[in-house]
Structure 1
Amino acid sequence: MKEDVMVHRPMRKLFYDLSDAGRRLDLSLVDIGAFVVERKMRVCTPAAGLLVEFGLWENEGSVDQYAVAEEVREVSGLVDLRPQDALAIIQSGSAAIEFLDAASGSYRRIIRTEGDPPGFAVRRENLGVRHEVLQKLADEFGVDLAEPTALPRLGALRTHDWDACMLEVSRLFYFEGVPESKAALIRHVQAWFASQGPKVPDESTLQKKLKDTWAMFAPEARKRRA
């Protein structure tokens, strides 16, 4: 008698976090940010019991623009973010947003009751992509999301988000200037990792990761010391 064999099929997910979406499409965090601002990838986040004001913009784009509220509803589920808000969260790690994405000429404003902190706090790890959005991109890239081989082996998972780390280094150099020494840069990066979670890379790992970057920008540090 032939035994029945259960075939494992990957579950179709409703939502893929950015790390998962990036692995499936072979995109870095910087790549995803570019897709978001070009409106080629719509990013969302889960929400529950979010009070949202739906309305229209009158004289949109002019100095006389003003909002006309139509209704207030409680929203739960996956909510889409405006590209500028999604990019800010991708780059900085978190942000408090005041609006959700909406069609041109309309708006969705998040209402916070008295005593609540301003804005709706969203962290990078809570950002993701809906299945239909990822599927459309996968079709363009020629990637089969249903294939088990599309998922990485456990040993391939990265302990640290180096793409996000290099975004932080770029932000530091651009807005605050090059640190006075490589040791100061390493201390800054370790503090940044500590703010993101419990796992902080050791100094020897950071020495290797930041070696080429520091070699490029070290002359600027020497100029500042002179």
Structure 2
Amino acid sequence: MKSILIIGASRGIGLELVRQYTEDGRRVIATVRDDAGRERVQALGADVLTVDVANPASVSGLAWQLDGEKLDLAIYVAGIIRRPNALTPPTQQDFDAVMHTNVLGAMQTIPQVAPLVADAGGVFAFLSSSMSQIGSVPNSDSWLYRTSKAALNMAVAAAQHNYPGATLVTIDPGWVQTDMGGGTAPLTAQDSVRGLRNTLASVTPADKGRLLHHDGRRATHW
């Protein structure tokens, strides 16, 4: 039986992805960082693995934990934000935290997971952001986060060439009412995830390496 892997499922969009896919009867494997996240995910009926994507040693064991799995869909959801603009240089602590989770974690995960997705001819998606698009930057707000997501887009587009049996894409969930997005965001997690699922279900090989949006639009500039 082919499975779905959600990387970073403790809360927010990741947890809602687990909820909706399990409600549809899919077998879901989800990664969390702590016991609280494990309890939330287990309550939804998913299989749970403990992985800290900001820790390469933790990610390095993911492949053997997934040994024998066929993944027709994997989604890298893990991400954090720091909000200062370009008037304030990022601290090394903030830079390392954002880049390790948003970029290094994804790059460490790709060689662990992409072969399992390729074996199933599946899709490996990474949550990015419209804030990553260099051709439409309105201001420098959250400039470190913007930089990390632009780097993620490049990492995925580059990695696609090594896994021709899989379709690797980045996908923008929109501005969502989560801990990161805040309560004034226009999209609920439920609506965002419904859009993400519909868009991911529509992915074709022509989308390889591209940035998609939750509403099905394909990015025309980066």
> Do the structures match in fold with TM over 0.5?
no
Instruction: With the length of structure 1 as denominator, give the TM-score of the two structures.
Output: 0.26
Instruction: With the length of structure 2 as denominator, give the TM-score of the two structures.
Output: 0.26
Higher-Rg member (1/2)? 1
When you count strand as a share of all residues, which structure comes out higher?
1
